Structure 1
Amino acid sequence: MTTPLPTRPFAALLFDMDGTLISSIASAERTWSRWAAAHGLDVAAFLPTIHGVRSVETIRRLNLPGVDPEAEAAAITQAEMEDVGDVTEIPGARAFLATLPPERWAIVTSAPRALALRRLAAADMPIPKLMVAAEDVAQGKPAPDCFLLAARRLGVAAEDCCVFEDAPAGIRAAEAAGASVVVVTATHHEPVSAKHPAIPNYRNLRAVTDPDGLRLTTDL
């Protein structure tokens, strides 16, 4: 049974970026495949581990001898910035964001800010008033720090936010922050858990602003 969308009002909506607002999987996996192959890794086994977390943490947890995670992450970011030709919006995302009050939403991404801005521009997506990027927190997802920071900068409680996510690390981070979660499945290849409501894209999603906040509804 599909978990229904929450009916309560929210003070703000927080969005992951890659896989949630835009599809950049092909670009990211091309870059990371080359890197993994150069370091003798099993590419097919490695690629699922890159999504939703900061590049530096992906590299750090491998404990590869003689590898500087900071330098390698910077090189990967540069390569990803040069490969954005097929980065596209998740269907309906641009129109959905356009309906939101600018002070009521933010992007919370594990990507460095420069890469995030590059990918958003490539997909012709709006730039939010507030973005929390990889360099803004000491601990990336699945730690809740990024969502807690975004809520604080918006002047609201994380418990009064709804987070849109696609990756397990981001979902765990949102849960740890105490936020509600909607899972975006546009880029998923496997069924998702029924623990949280899920949407395939934003085509039928609406956010209605009332005196109590933002309420999510669908046209279905």
Structure 2
Amino acid sequence: MSVVTETFDAILFDMDGTLVDSTEGVIGAWNAFKITYPHLVVEAARFEQEIVNSSRKDGKEGIVALPGVRGITESLLSSEDSRNRWALCTSATRVYATAALQIAGIPTPNNFIAAEDVHNGKPAPDPYVEGAKLCGVDPKRCLVVEDAPAGIYSGQAAGCKTLAVITSHTREVMIQAKPDYLVRNLSR
């Protein structure tokens, strides 16, 4: 891993574990669902809604922006050109992702790929290929920012450079995915 010295035409972000920490909501949702039927699509949507509902119950902190995210998103919103040069590419549904960003105080980007926007999710390249298209750039000129090996593999398969953040997996697990760059979080 080295210092990023390249320039990119667009940045494609994952959401959970990369931009936001939804741990409190996830724990609450698992407690509410007791792991009944997490493999069913309908139950998965209900589970995501419960994450939002549980995120602030009982004095919990809620879904929060991870370190460095506010500075990066403020920078990306500083001009019309940069507003169109980043995308959210998440495996979450659009409803959940929009709510999570709002709760965390992160602006919803102009370019947004959610689970229902692609036929094949991560680790397939589809989310990041589509994100690059929305930004109007070649995936080879994009930097994917991810917290999970499946997302790193997805970015690599799309032809993007990858930046792994160590927020939800260990450093060793993320190194095994062979990202181009590795940082603790986006404050680096």
Q: Return the TM-score normalized by structure 2.
A: 0.85
Structure 1 position 138, deviation (Å): 1.1
* 1:181-208 deviations in Å (ceiling 9; x for gaps): 000113334533173221112224xxxx
- Runs (5+) with no aligned partner, structure 2: 57-61, 77-81
Does residue 199 (structure 1) correspond to residue 159 (structure 2)? The answer is: no
Mapped partners of 1:36, 1:178: distance in 2: 39
Does residue 182 (structure 1) correspond to residue 169 (structure 2)? The answer is: no
Structure with larger RCO (C-alpha < 8 A, sep 6+): 1
Mapped partners of 2:69, 2:159: distance in 1: 24
Note closer, same or farther for the CA distance 1:108–1:37 as it changes in structure 2 (3 Å cut): closer
Mapped partners of 2:149, 2:34: distance in 1: 21
After the TM superposition, which residues 71-220 of structure 1 pair with which residues of structure 2 at under 5 Å, given as runs?
Answer: 71-85=42-56, 86-100=62-76, 101-189=82-170, 191=172, 192-193=174-175, 195-196=178-179, 197-204=181-188
Mapped partners of 1:16, 1:141: distance in 2: 10
Q: How many residues align?
A: 175
* 1:50-109 deviations in Å (ceiling 9; x for gaps): xxxxxxxx71xxxxxxxxx22222221221221222211111111111112101111111
Mapped partners of 1:73, 1:38: distance in 2: 11
Aligned-residue sequence identity (percent) comes to 36
* 1:127-181 deviations in Å (ceiling 9; x for gaps): 1111101110111111110100111111101111000000111111111101000
Matching residue of 1:30: 28
Mapped partners of 2:171, 2:32: distance in 1: 25
Which structure: larger Rg?
A: 1
Mapped partners of 1:182, 1:87: distance in 2: 23
Residue number among 11, 26, 33 corresponding to 2:9 in the alignment: 11
Query: Is residue 141–residue 170 contact of structure 1 (8 Å, CA) maintained in 2?
Result: yes
Note closer, same or farther for the CA distance 1:159–1:190 as it changes in structure 2 (3 Å cut): closer
Mapped partners of 2:101, 2:183: distance in 1: 21
4+ aligned runs moved over 6 Å, structure 1: none
* 1:15-65 deviations in Å (ceiling 9; x for gaps): 0000001111332243235535435xxxxxxxxxxxxxxxxxx71xxxxxx
